[in-house]
């Protein structure tokens, strides 16, 4: 019997994920993705005021600290036909975009780069040669002197000599799959540490517009902070100037560090443009409305659409309300449906009935013929879909977005790769970088529009006309969606007599990390690992990590324990 390689937990992600790979010699023949934690927020939300739902739903995730809040308020606004002021839409765009840029940079350097960068190898680098490389890769970035890299290398040496690698510990350093020269590794480690400092400044945008970070505040009908240029407790001139400064810092780091590093590292791993293709179907809900709000998708920066079988010539429309399009299946999940495990349910009719039937821990491997994950299996018209940066870049490309076409064409030419490489582990990682460039450039336009509105005397950020539940219909339902950094995110809400009757969230990593469906069709993680993956050493499966991290998994870390009456069962205090 061939070996079953088990990686549990997958580290450098948010949440808990287990991957099992059935080997055929050195090749992965079959792969299985198992979410090993349950969320249950949907159950907690039943019976609550829909205006409060965002505060609970936002805690589904602790990394993308606002996207569930955005999807939640949009779902309630969709149900109530609630119009929001243009300024509120612009501020939301800026907040979502800031999350993209922050999240993508942090993912590249702190979660994914260590799959490609051998940190310990940097100890043998020549600081002078590293300085020359850095100035060649990014001539405008000021931190590239010989002295700077000498100090960085000495700092790393002190960590190693003290046996305190800390954040760099427990990795597969020295693995033959690492191909970067020592100087490139030292440069990347330096940028890893610089990104830590950078992110401390850029999160201020969320605090200015949303009151705090993480988990900024939101409001059904607009945004919570008013605009008053003469007030110390509102969005004033000083705070708007800080927002402009944040946008500038974001653009500078993306242009001068993130994009050059992606291209430099990718040039050593071109073979990864030939594996990790996945299911070949891509779904994008669309986001970033310019005018007309969420009801007019023609004005979205990122258009909605579905791409099937890697065919970029046709962009299929999505109807998120249709009972025949998006459905969740639980054939291989630890849930039950009242109509049976093999039926699919549209989220409006979705059920969250927990039913664990897996092995009692600890166990060596899962019974993949039965249920094996806490994640459901979403499908669009019965087909598995990949969501995320690659899906969005492909959708933009297919829709004729000029900047995207130019970036994609230039990147493929720079790396001397064919178009097919887009549908790969390397393509997925590169798409995240290109998308960051598109988003950070758009931020300036939204900021300029906000300033123009304010100068014209429009400071409105909240529509109070539909806030009172007495104005609501007896029954309503709606879907709120956003393109979270990791992919299409949507919340469906059913409201009856002013309270939540049903609530379902289908998150990006449910689309990507879900298990096989009733027909045995794998999800995107599973399919990607089954595409041309050989393990040099099953005890050090860096190859698995590279492809899984290319999706940037987010398996929902924020699980809150309450009893049936909503009382806390557990409280943790830190001194």
The full set of domains in the chain, from first to last, is 4-114+197-550 (1.10.645.10)
Supply the pLDDT for residue 77.
98
| 374: Cβ contacts below 8 Å, ≥ 6 apart | 34, 35, 36, 37, 38, 39, 333, 334
Supply the pLDDT for residue 485.
95
Q: The sheet that has 4-7: what strands, in order across it?
A: 4-7, 17-24, 27-35
In the chain, % helix, strand, coil (3-state, to 5) comes to 45, 15, 40
Supply the pLDDT for residue 367.
96
Active site residues: 14, 61, 64, 68, 486, 509, 554, 557
Profile the chain (575 residues) by mean pLDDT over runs of 10 residues. 86 90 96 90 94 93 86 98 96 97 96 94 97 96 97 90 72 93 97 94 95 92 96 96 98 98 98 97 97 88 98 97 97 96 96 94 93 97 98 98 98 97 98 98 98 97 96 98 96 98 96 96 98 96 97 66 47 44
Among the residues of 81-145, which ranges form H helices? 86-106, 127-137
3-state DSSP assignment of residue 410:
helix
> Which residue from 327, 69, 328, 350 is spatially nearest to 209, judged by alpha carbons?
69
> Which residue from 8, 4, 2 is spatially nearest to 548, judged by alpha carbons?
8
Supply the pLDDT for residue 301.
97
Supply the pLDDT for residue 15.
84
- pTM: predicted TM-score of the whole model, two decimal places: 0.94
Supply the pLDDT for residue 347.
97
Distance CA 4, CA 311 (A): 34
Name the CA radius of gyration of the chain, rounded. 24
């Amino acid at each position: 019997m061939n070996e079953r390689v088990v990686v549990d937990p997958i580290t450098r992600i948010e949440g808990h994920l287990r991957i099992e790979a059935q080997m055929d010699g050195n090749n992965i023949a079959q792969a299985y993705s198992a979410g090993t934690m349950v969320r249950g927020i949907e159950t907690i939300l039943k019976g609550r005021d829909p205006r409060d739902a965002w505060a609970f739903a936002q805690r589904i995730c602790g990394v993308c600290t606002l996207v569930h809040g955005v999807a939640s308020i949009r779902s309630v606004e969709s149900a109530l036909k609630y119009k929001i002021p243009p300024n509120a839409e612009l501020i939301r765009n800026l907040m979502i975009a800031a999350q993209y840029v922050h999240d993508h940079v942090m993912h590249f350097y702190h979660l994914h780069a260590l799959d490609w960068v051998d940190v310990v190898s940097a100890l043998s680098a020549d600081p002078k040669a590293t300085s020359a490389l850095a100035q060649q890769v990014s001539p405008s970035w000021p931190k590239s002197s010989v002295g700077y890299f000498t100090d960085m290398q000495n700092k790393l040496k002190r960590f190693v000599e003290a046996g305190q690698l800390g954040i760099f510990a427990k990795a597969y350093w020295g693995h033959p799959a690492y191909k970067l020269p020592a100087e490139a590794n030292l440069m990347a480690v330096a940028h890893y540490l610089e990104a830590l400092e950078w992110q401390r400044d850029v999160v201020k945008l969320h605090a200015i517009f949303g009151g705090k970070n993480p988990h900024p505040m939101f409001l059904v009908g607009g945004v919570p902070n008013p605009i008053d240029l003469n007030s110390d407790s509102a969005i004033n001139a000083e705070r708007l100037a800080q927002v402009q400064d944040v946008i500038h810092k974001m653009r500078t780091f993306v242009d001068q560090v993130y994009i050059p590093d992606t291209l430099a590292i990718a040039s050593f791993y071109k073979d990864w443009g030939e594996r990790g293709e996945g299911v070949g179907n891509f779904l994008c809900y669309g986001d970033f409305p310019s005018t007309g709000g969420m009801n007019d998708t023609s004005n979205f920066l990122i258009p909605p659409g579905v791409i099937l079988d890697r065919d970029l010539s046709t962009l299929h429309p999505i109807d998120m309300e249709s009972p025949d399009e998006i459905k969740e299946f639980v054939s291989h999940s630890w849930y039950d449906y009242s109509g049976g495990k093999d039926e699919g349910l549209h989220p409006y009719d979705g059920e969250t009935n927990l039913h664990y039937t897996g092995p009692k821990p600890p166990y060596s491997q899962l019974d993949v013929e039965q249920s094996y994950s806490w994640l459901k299996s979403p499908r669009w018209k019965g087909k598995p879909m990949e969501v995320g940066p690659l899906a969005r870049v492909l959708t933009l490309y297919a829709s004729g977005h000029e900047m995207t076409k130019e970036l994609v064409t230039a990147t493929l030419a720079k790396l001397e790769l064919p178009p097919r490489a887009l549908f790969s582990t390397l393509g997925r990682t590169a798409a995240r970088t290109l998308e960051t460039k598109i988003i950070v450039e758009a931020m300036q336009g939204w900021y300029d529009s906000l300033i123009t509105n304010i100068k014209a005397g429009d400071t409105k950020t909240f529509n109070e006309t539909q806030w009172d539940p007495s104005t609501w219909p007896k029954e309503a339902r709606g879907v709120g969606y956003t393109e979270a950094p990791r992919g299409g995110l949507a919340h469906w809400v059913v409201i009856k007599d002013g309270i939540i009757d049903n609530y379902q969230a289908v998150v990006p990593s449910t689309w990507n990390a879900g298990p096989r469906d009733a027909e045995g069709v794998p999800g995107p993680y599973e399919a990607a690992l089954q595409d041309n993956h050989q393990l040099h050493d099953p005890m050090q499966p860096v190859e698995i990590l590279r492809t899984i991290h290319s999706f940037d998994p987010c398996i929902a870390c924020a699980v809150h324990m309450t009893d049936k009456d909503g009382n806390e069962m557990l409280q943790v205090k830190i001194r």
